[in-house]
Chains A and B, each alone.
Chain A
Amino acid sequence: MMQGHLCILLVVIPLFAAPIAAILPRGRLPWAAALIVTSVCFVLAGMQLWSVVQDGVVSYELGGWAPPWGIEYRIDAVNAFMALIVSGIAAVTLPYALLSAEKEIPEHLIPLFYSAFLLCFTGLLGITLTGDIFNVFVFLEISSLSSYALISLGRKRQALTSAYQYLIMGTLGATFFLIGVGLIYSQTGTLNMVDLAARLPQVSSLNTIHTGFAFIITGIALKLALFPLHLWLPNAYTYAPSVITLFLSATATKVAVYVMLRILFSVFPSDFVSTTPTGDLFLLSGIAGIISASVYAIYQVDVKRLLAYSSVAQIGYIALGIGFASFTSLTATLVHLFNHALMKGALFMAIGSIIYRVGKCHMDSIHGLGRQMPWTFGAIIVGGFSLIGVPGTAGFISKWYLVLTAIEQDSWISVVVILVGSLLAAVYIGKLIEALYFKPAVDSNPAVNEVPFSMLAPTWILVLANIYFGLNTELTVGVAEHAIRVLGVTAE
């Protein structure tokens, strides 16, 4: 009984919990509500992945309306995997959020903060679970609008302008997506993804379809911060509250990547990637993004901004994988998507811990903190090594698969770019470690202690996950390969 309703519960529970959190009294109750909801969702998402892997695709008709007229939630291994990532990160984030949010957000806004957080969570889960392309837009807007609100809650006044700019740009992306969906609808008369996949091959030569496709791709490319459409990301990540930075960096862009994969490979005929400029666009922007964003990262003086640019570079790797569009490369993409969520999650948590203690994260104001906060520093080292791709960490696995793909495709330039990218990552992580550990402490900073356990534990869960998934690849690679097969791409 429960099994059949899992997917709708995953969306409905946080959706209803959001207003409840808003009206709960100040104090820790809203947090507790959010914690319970995300943990329940995590368990449900785990059960859902299990049942999908066991029994195959689940189709849920919303309100009893049969597809393609009604909205259908269609769960296969890809959705279920994504939902697990999103809810998993949310479940790890919340225990961490308690103290960090209390420190960074005015007390009277805390209920609203958790309410917006839950709405954002709802939106992200909804995007992954729905099988209706217009519904994707709706949930995209739910998650985006709530994330604008969340970003504007940052400590500095710049948070307001960056949230506003993100609003303009994000709306631009969403509008492009909607225009594309409208054009497609005008030719096929359907919005259901499975139905679209059946009807599109007959009309795929029409210019309207190609134009719609172009609008959808550019729109989502903006949402996933594909270079050079990444301009919203550095400001948004830098000025958002630490909890939000870590949650968005680990989930929001990843969900956009998922939408991209879904549309490229299971909605549209999969030869669209090679017969349109899509593949080349992704390769080009991936290569340009890896190099330029890594170089930008080296010159940042704000640690969060440094990591934000590094995220743009990591999205470049993901774009490379999409651009090659082969079985191995898409596996690499999914694996990197998962691993990047782990490493950026760990790093942003550690930086959030530093902000919790020192109140800022300028390169000059964190000197010597590594010696005073050894566990946080350890997390940064392991997370940083994972970002560089040192063997034994999760980052190595995804880089490894990407390099294999590039060699398989005889694309030597990508091999060089991936390796140079790792080298540049070593430089900016080295800069961070140097500032944290080797520079003498700033006199004006009072000596600080390690952060409380409730912040360290989530950080180290992610750090240990980085090491675990660097040694045991069965789960990530196995699920990713399964998911890519479900998307309709098979190994030659």
Chain B
Amino acid sequence: MSELPPFVLYYFAAFLVLALPVKVRSIILLATPVITALHLWFNVDTGILSTYSLFNFELTIMRTDKLSLLFAYLFCLASFISTIFALRLRDIRQDIAGLLYPGSTLGAVFAGDLITLFIFWELMAVSSVIFIWARGTKRAIYAGMRYLVFKVMSGACLLAGALVLYHSTGSLAFDYIGLEGLAGWLIFISFGIKCAFPLLHGWLTEGYAEATPTGTVFLSAFTTKVAVYALARGFAGEEILIYIGVIMACFPIFYAVIENDLRKVLAYSLINQVGFMVTGVGVGTALALNGAVAHAFIDVIFKGLLFMTMGAVLYRVGHINGSNLGGLYKSMPKTAAFCIVGALSISAFPLFSGFVSKSMIMTAMVQEDYSYLWLFMLFASAGVFHHAGIKIPYFAFFAHDSGLRPKEAPVNMLIAMGLSAILCIFIGTQPQYLYSMLPWAVDYWPYDMTHVLAQLQLLFFSALAFVWLNKQGIYPPELRSTNLDVEWIYRKFIPAGIHRGLFVFRTARESAITAVIAPMRSIRNSFSQSFFARYHLSESWPTGSMVYWISIILVAYLLLDIFVYE
């Protein structure tokens, strides 16, 4: 049984959902992650378990070790919680996507070679875009298209990198790759797109904000985490990742603070959290890698929780603009409470889950003497508390009363949020269980005096700043606005550039026509009135052009053959 790849279970379940009546659908949806997790727990050992051959290559479809197993458990957990959250949906497209997407993710995590990874990489892209398109609005369809283009580019880079690597080393194994040569960079860029590196992140902020309320919960859990996993396996300890990670942790804060669409705020804060993980991978010591992996694990839970609370608000209210919300705690108290738990976790409050993993990365940075960058990360931590820890719950549930009195979220959503909230607090207070599952052996305990004090200082001063800025009226108000990000380049700048380019081309062509063709035309006209015109064959497209082309080719061919080639 050990060699059964877990994605097969998910795909089979997707088939069952299609084939069986609606009544049993929920059972299948809920049972799949549980069965898969049990299968992984009881049956699967570590090592290379299952190979297959595709055109003369021996490919590894299932290679397990502690790193991939940890991510696999995480993905089972995330798909279980997200499925509960989406249970009442009754939308077959999203049900199927909710099985195919996590299934493909599991396939990617266990892929032992780059070709298998590429196949699941593409399947993830295709299955996840359904969550955006299912929203059905015109904006969502176009956002989905752009999302898909990014993902296909990422896949193309991965495939090209894999082929170049195979050409130069003769191996397709997915192990440490490193940034040497074209292959390394191609694969790095491919992972980078999925990881939402700065300037490559447009698909994330745009796509996640346009997806369905439940879809974003799925989307936030898998794609970027697989990319972090892939980076940890292929590029651990590459120094450039530290700088990229620091930029990723810092720049979204500014956007998040001024953004009005609260799910977009969360999307920016997702990039910021992934920045912490990327930094951890870049530092590359056992502690840092453990921190990155642990942070990925925890982030899925609390970011999922935050997206769920915002999804619940979107589901009940119909929009998610900070400027038009507020006071919802009166009618959605449970959702508000869960949101606060998620906010405390993401802000790394002691006793909440974010604290136990973020401190690992920060400690590892200090140990490796990256003090200046460490200061930037401190700034990023404070920024997180600002935009995700305070802004999200404050503007959605408190602030000025918007007068909206929606109903409390449905039971299944509450259960899903509750589960996540319990996990946040459990991991935050009892981190030893998570630590014992981490892939590298490390002796670390987050709750010592310096850490707790430093973190609390940071948080309280950050909170103070928010309160003071808000009181003075300096804090950027929630405005209905569109903020420009990199997507402006390909949504506005390039189309405008092409437009302008076409205009210049057209003008140039017109002037060329007047300068060259007009005289020729007058020659032709005088020719057609002459005696010879009787023998002039009338133009008949395309036969005429065809004769023209075939004679050109024949003549060129013969001349080249006789004079150029031997």
Contacts and interface: CB of A to CB of B under 8 A. Distances in A.
Interface string A201-245: 000000100110011011001100000110110010000000000
A229 B163 contact: no
Contacts of A210: 558, 561-562
Contact of B545 (A215, A217, A231): A231
Interface in A267-299: 275-277, 281
Contact of B554 (A176, A390, A422): A176
A397 B55 contact: yes
Interface string A164-206: 0100110011001000000000000000000000000000000
A441 interface: no
A473 interface: yes
B56 to A, nearest CB: 9
A250 to B, nearest CB: 23
Given A275-B566, A426-B152, A430-B145, A172 B558 contact: no
A221 B545 CA distance: 15
Contacts of A423: 152, 156
B549 A228 contact: yes
Given A231-B545, A276-B561, A419-B160, A176 B550 contact: yes
B122 A390 contact: yes
A283 to B, nearest CB: 13
Nearest to A396: B119
Contacts of A228: 549, 553
Contacts of B556: 277
Interface in B517-559: 540, 542-543, 545-547, 549-550, 553-554, 556-558
Interface stretch (A117-125, A307-315, A352-360, A399-407): A399-407
B164 interface: yes
A231 B542 CA distance: 6
Interface string A369-396: 0000000000000000000001110000
A477 interface: yes
Contact of B561 (A235, A277, A400, A477): A277
Contacts of A231: 542-543, 545-546, 549
A477 to B, nearest CB: 7
A210 B119 CA distance: 47
A277 B560 contact: yes
B73 to A, nearest CB: 27
Interface in B95-129: 118-119, 122
Interface SS of B by simple majority: helix
A168 B545 CA distance: 12
Contacts of B54: 473
B542 A232 contact: yes
Nearest to A426: B152
A277 B549 contact: no
A473 B558 CA distance: 40
A22 interface: no
Interface residues of B, number: 33
A281 B546 contact: no
B496 to A, nearest CB: 20
Contact of A214 (B119, B545, B549, B554): B554
A415 to B, nearest CB: 7
A215 B159 CA distance: 40
A207 B562 contact: yes
Contacts of B566: 275
A65 interface: no
B565 A165 contact: no
A168 B141 contact: no
A392 B119 contact: yes
Nearest to B559: A277
B554 A218 contact: yes
Given A172-B546, A231-B545, A221 B558 contact: no
A468 interface: no
A253 to B, nearest CB: 16
Interface residues of A, number: 43
A300 B141 CA distance: 22
Nearest to B164: A407
A214 B118 contact: no
A281 B557 contact: yes
Nearest to B556: A277
A16 interface: no
A218 B55 contact: no
Nearest to A211: B558
B542 A218 contact: no
Contacts of B167: 407-408
A277 B564 CA distance: 9
Nearest to B153: A423
A69 interface: no
A276 B55 contact: no
B546 A276 contact: no
Contacts of B122: 390-391
A403 B164 CA distance: 10
Given A172-B546, A275-B565, A391-B122, A419 B156 contact: yes
Interface string B44-72: 00000000001100000000000000000
Nearest to A401: B55
A438 B549 contact: no
Given A172-B550, A231-B542, A391 B565 contact: no
Contacts of B159: 403
A255 B560 CA distance: 28
A172 B542 CA distance: 13
A222 B119 contact: no
Nearest to A168: B543
Contacts of B542: 165, 169, 231-232, 235
A232 B540 CA distance: 12
Contacts of B557: 214, 217-218, 276-277, 281
Nearest to B145: A430
Given A218-B554, A407-B167, A232 B561 contact: no
Contacts of B145: 430
Nearest to A285: B553
Contact of B565 (A232, A277, A403): A277
Interface in A410-435: 415, 419, 422-423, 426, 430
Contacts of B549: 228-229, 231
Contacts of A430: 145
B18 to A, nearest CB: 12
Interface in B128-170: 141, 145, 152, 156, 159-160, 163-164, 167
Nearest to B118: A391
B543 A415 contact: no
A14 B141 CA distance: 51
Contacts of A173: 550
A222 B566 CA distance: 26
A477 B55 contact: yes
A142 B65 CA distance: 64
Nearest to A280: B560
Contact of A215 (B141, B152, B554, B564): B554
Given A172-B546, A430-B145, 18 more contacts: A169-B543, A172-B550, A214-B554, A217-B557, A218-B554, A228-B549, A275-B565, A276-B557, A277-B564, A392-B119, A404-B163, A407-B164, A408-B167, A415-B160, A422-B156, A423-B156, A426-B152, A477-B55
12 contacts: A169-B542, A176-B550, A214-B557, A232-B546, A277-B564, A403-B159, A404-B163, A407-B164, A415-B163, A422-B156, A423-B156, A473-B54
Top 9 A-B residue pairs of the complex, sorted by shortest distance between their CB atoms: A231-B542, A277-B560, A231-B546, A391-B119, A218-B554, A214-B557, A228-B549, A169-B546, A407-B167
